[in-house]
Amino acid sequence: MSHQAFGGGYFKAVSAKGLRHVCSRFLTNERTVIYPGWFKDTLPNIQPGTKFSMIHIDCDLYQSAKDVLEYCLSNHLLQEGGAIFFDDWNPNAASPDVGERKAWSEIVQMFNVRYSDWGPYGWGGHKFLVHGYGDSSRI
């Protein structure tokens, strides 16, 4: 299903201000950056040279998950040994043909991702440790 099937704010559970408040319990405001909008439109706002040790994919939709993964890996934003968490790994009868499972499978092939399955978390999530991808000398 493409993102065109949903209007702006369809999945919005909290405002940017509310999210900043939640994050402030763990991080200072200076360490929290929020980019409201579709992932494909906001990912280019990430500062060059940024490296993530963890990426939490809570996109629900195949295309959004693929957009995040493809952008982050093609721009070498995930550092070696980083973790990827998928919040919605098991919906749709845990089918590998849809959603986050399909996006991950395609990205693993596309970027030659070397990873370890780190197992489930929560009721429907799953996590992986990434050892390298693509040209690992650039990670």
Residues 22 and 62 in one domain: no
Token duo for residue 54: 């963890």
> How does pLDDT run across 51-82, given as a tens digit for each residue?
999 999 988 889 999 999 999 999 999 999 99
CA 87 – CA 64 distance, rounded (Å): 13
CB atoms within 10 A of CB 119: 9
CATH code where residue 126 lies: 3.40.50.150
Residues 102 and 119 in one domain: yes
Single-letter residue type at 56 = H
pTM (two decimals): 0.82
Give DSSP secondary structure letters for the chain: --GGGS-TTTT--S-HHHHHHHHTTTS-GGG-----S-HHHHGGGSPTT--EEEEEE---SHHHHHHHHHHHHHTT-EEEEEEEEETTSSTGGG-TTSHHHHHHHHHHHHHT-EEEEEEEETTTEEEEEEEE-SSGGG-
Q: Give pLDDT < 50 ranges for the chain.
A: 1-4
pLDDT value for 6: 54
Residues 66 and 107 in one domain: yes
Residues 54 and 23 in one domain: no
Domain limits for position 33 = 13-37
For residue 122, tell me if it sits in a domain: yes
Domain count, the chain: 2
Residues 33 and 53 in one domain: no
